[in-house]
Amino acid sequence: TQLLEQSPQFLSIQEGENLTVYCNSSSVFSSLQWYRQEPGEGPVLLVTVVTGGEVKKLKRLTFQFGDARKDSSLHITAAQPGDTGLYLCAGRYNQGGKLIFGQGTELSVKP
């Protein structure tokens, strides 16, 4: 069974703090996506990482793919209330087309 463990599940922080979300698997991914989802809406794609060791930045968000392509992290610098939402990592394996999703991290940033 292909599993993707995401942590922490819940995170409540003050505006201006930094945070890191982790995504781990025992299997190797061909690619990994990070999504953000607001209540009642579909997930919105933030980034795709493909190469082991790859680092991508999106404003205050930094995404890293592990060297072995089994894990990934999302780091947010100086979080703002607008960052509040559900963050999902999703891994794709070579076959099958489907994405395997982590359980998600519910982030709340208080002003």
Report d(CA 42, CA 44) in Å as an integer. 6
Residues 41 and 86 sit within 8 Å (Cβ to Cβ) = no
CB-nearer residue toward other proteins: 25 or 33: 33
Residues 11 and 108 sit within 8 Å (Cβ to Cβ) = yes
CB-nearer residue toward other proteins: 82 or 96: 96
CB-nearer residue toward other proteins: 59 or 94: 94
Closest C-alpha to 4, from 98, 70, 97, 55: 70
In whole angstroms, how close is the CB of 16 to other proteins at the nearest point? Answer: 30
In whole angstroms, how close is the CB of 45 to other proteins at the nearest point? Answer: 6
* Contact residues: other proteins, CB under 8 A: 30-31, 33, 35, 40-45, 48, 50, 88, 90, 92, 94-104
